[in-house]
């Protein structure tokens, strides 16, 4: 790609959809900046992608739950002489123990990682993209952001809903600039996400296999969508049906539908 070689910054790149997106971008010839809290898996992934695709994969360990982390991350990128042509805001986690039973520090961390950090990183990096007349911003939201809110993981859906709306607003603002913005809204995906929040056994037994997707397929659909400049994409036919129902049903009926999900989370 020579002088036209582009570099994509991916948060939460150590596993799951983030790692799948790193592999997808590397396969398309993009250089990468990989960031997450855990440095060891990032280094292993960087070595894998360099060996398989010949791309440059830089590693910067960072914890986006820390106040000021996005600015420090951007400073670290600049100090290495790197520029960011594309941003994938993927880092995230959830807590399923209920609003009153969850440590307020965990709530604050969720908001910083999944809401504040994407906003700050976008604001810091978009000026450079627009100045170069080329950029890609892929915000990994969730089907949960298109569905009625649930109890148990009370803040997760609302945060993802915010990310979808913010992505749509940025999509409108960046038309004609060469920058594409997309919200990726996956449903249940085979990653370590549910292992981390302790809900793996419950969700695996509660939801049939046809509702689940592989991370590499989700990543491919997501990157195809941002290249095509689609403001939002929801992978999978079943997930699109659920999203449509979530938007059409009256609140009372919709909340009854998700009530069972909340009770399962309360038992975790």
Which residues are annotated as catalytic?
156
Q: Are 104 and 87 in contact (CB under 8 A)?
A: no
Q: Please choose, from the candidates 184, 74, 188, the residue with its C-alpha nearest in 3D space to the C-alpha of residue 139.
A: 184
List all residues 6 or more positions away from 150 whose beta carbon is below 8 Å from its beta carbon.
Answer: 144, 156, 157, 258, 261, 262, 265
- DSSP class per residue in the chain: -GGG--EEEEESTTSHHHHHHHHHHHHTT-EEEEEES-HHHHHHHHHHHHHHH---EEEEE--TTSTTHHHHHHHHHHHTT---SEEEE-------S-TTTS-HHHHHHHHIIIIIHHHHHHHHHHHHHHHTT-EEEEEE--GGGGS---SSSTTHHHHHHHHHHHHHHHHHHTTTTTEEEEEE---SEESSHHHHTT-HHHHHHHS-GGG-EEHHHHHHHHHHHHHTT-SEE--SHHHHHHHHHHHHS-HHHHHHHHHHHHHHHHT-
DSSP state of 10: E
CA–CA separation, 20 and 193 (whole Å)? 13
């Amino acid at each position: 790609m020579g002088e036209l070689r582009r570099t994509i910054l991916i948060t939460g790149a150590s596993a799951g959809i983030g790692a799948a997106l790193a592999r997808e971008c590397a396969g398309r010839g993009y250089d990468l900046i990989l960031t997450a809290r855990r440095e060891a898996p990032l280094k292993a992934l960087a070595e894998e992608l360099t060996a398989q695709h010949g791309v440059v994969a830089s590693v910067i360990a960072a914890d986006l739950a820390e106040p000021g982390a996005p600015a420090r991350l951007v400073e670290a990128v600049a100090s290495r002489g790197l520029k960011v042509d594309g941003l994938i805001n993927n880092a995230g986690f959830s807590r399923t123990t209920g609003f009153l039973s969850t440590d307020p520090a965990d709530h604050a961390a969720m908001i910083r990682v999944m809401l504040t950090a994407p906003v700050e990183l976008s604001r810091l990096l978009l000026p450079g993209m627009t100045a170069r007349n080329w950029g890609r911003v892929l915000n990994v939201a969730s089907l949960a952001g298109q569905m009625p809110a649930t109890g148990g993981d009370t803040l997760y859906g609302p945060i993802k809903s915010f990310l979808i709306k913010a992505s749509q607003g940025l999509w409108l603002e960046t038309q004609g600039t060469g920058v594409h913005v997309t919200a990726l809204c996956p449903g249940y995906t085979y990653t370590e996400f549910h292992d981390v929040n302790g809900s793996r056994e419950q969700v695996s037994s509660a939801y049939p296999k046809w509702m689940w997707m592989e991370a590499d397929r989700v990543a491919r659909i997501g990157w195809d969508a941002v290249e095509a400049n689609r403001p939002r994409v929801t992978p999978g036919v079943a997930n699109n049906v659920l999203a449509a129902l979530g938007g059409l049903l009256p609140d009372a009926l919709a909340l009854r539908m998700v009530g069972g999900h909340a009770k399962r989370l309360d038992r975790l």
